[in-house]
Amino acid sequence: MSEKLKQDHYKVAPQKHEGEKTSPHEEERAPKTDQYLLGRGAQFNTKNRFLKNEKTREHIEGIDDWEESNLATQYIEQESKTIVNNVDSPDVGMSYSMNPYAGCEHGCIYCYARNVHEYWGYSAGLDFEQKIIVKKNAPQLLRKFLMHPKWQCAPLMLSGNTDCYQPAEQKYRLTRAMLEVCNEFNQPVGILTKNSWILKDKDVLQEMAKKRLVSAMVSITSFNEDLRRTMEPRTTTAKQKLKVINELSSAGVRMGIMMGPMIPGLNEHEMQRIMKAASDNGATFTAYTFIRLNGAIKFLFHDWLFKNFPDRADKVWHLIEQSHDGKVNDTRWGVRMRGEGNIAQMVAQQYKKYGKLYHMNAEEWSLDTSIFRRPGEQGRLF
């Protein structure tokens, strides 16, 4: 770890700042750099930027014993006020998103949604994977939203921030209930997931596909199981993800592949293989992102990288820096998702080349917004 980063790391992660409020679980928030928690991406909790909102044990309902629950996943059930969010970033390809869960047990180390967990009062580190906020009234909120006469139908993105088929879905089935609402209203939906649990909703997805109301993307970053297991510890294997693409595309659902993120020196060389395999299994469109490490992710990813790939960590880190104007974080619209410089350009060229070769993005296609109707309303004639 470079001296500069080491200083930053320990500044934001474990140490108490002068005048800082003491947290009862402060000891547990310190990084345990000599230990490795299998099944987790992050190995420690970074300090929440919004410290005054930081949750302490007594704020979290349902936790009887902090020590015991420290490594287990906790579901924090909430009644939310809203479920559909406006997305104002011009380079993410969606206008509205909905996320029935905040935090994500999949625990991908590079996940940009980690930083959002700080707004909820938690850490972007282990908390993000362990403390999952469950918006129990999400389907009801969605129904209310769609009933509003001002809603002008536009596609909604499920998993705009966190994965809607993460393990919490097996218990709560909120995504399923939301899809049923969308189907009832003829509301089009885009889905992005890293979990094969989506297959449980094949029936409703198939119905929606017949009306051109759904398209889904599965995210695959590597066929190297050792890499996936540490980088995205609780996601489905690449093999199972190909099965998802195969089964759902055979059922008539338009399927795509997301390769995000491509990381130089770790997985960028797998792009062709991923695109070919996805295409062979029925995917017809594709997208990718290039790694960037904003906010707390910089510290989490650095720790992960040097623990898991000590042989090439320095090289990978420098390649990421080279691709973002000398830094690893990047907030510049347009550039941040793709990077710049030689490596990023090479990835972009490969993407274009193999997209053409495997007939990805070949067709013009859009979700149907013309048949939206509220229950009790006549369908629109024009």
> Cα dihedral angle (7, 10, 15, 18), rounded to 10 degrees?
30
Report, in Å, the least distance between residue 263 CB and ligand SF4.
13
Instruction: CB nearer to ligand SF4: give 220 or 275.
Output: 220
Instruction: CB nearer to ligand SF4: give 43 or 186.
Output: 43
Strands 156-158 and 131-135: unpaired
H/E stretch holding 3: helix 3-12
- Chain residues that interact with ligand SF4, rule: CB under 6 A: 104, 106-108, 111, 113, 162-163, 166, 194, 232, 235
Report, in Å, the least distance between residue 160 CB and ligand SF4.
10
88 secondary structure, DSSP code:
-
Report, in Å, the least distance between residue 4 CB and ligand SF4.
27
Report, in Å, the least distance between residue 144 CB and ligand SF4.
25
Angle at 202 between CA 201 and CA 206, to 5 degrees: 120
Cα separation of 310 and 82, whole Å? 44
Cα separation of 222 and 18, whole Å? 43
**Please, which residues have CB within 8 angstroms of residue 358's CB and are 6 or more apart in sequence?**
275, 276, 278, 279
Q: Which of 63, 146, 39, 51 is nearest to 98 (CA)?
A: 146
Instruction: CB nearer to ligand SF4: give 116 or 343.
Output: 116
Instruction: CB nearer to ligand SF4: give 155 or 261.
Output: 261
Instruction: CB nearer to ligand SF4: give 186 or 235.
Output: 235
Report, in Å, the least distance between residue 339 CB and ligand SF4.
18
Report, in Å, the least distance between residue 205 CB and ligand SF4.
19
Instruction: CB nearer to ligand SF4: give 75 or 185.
Output: 75
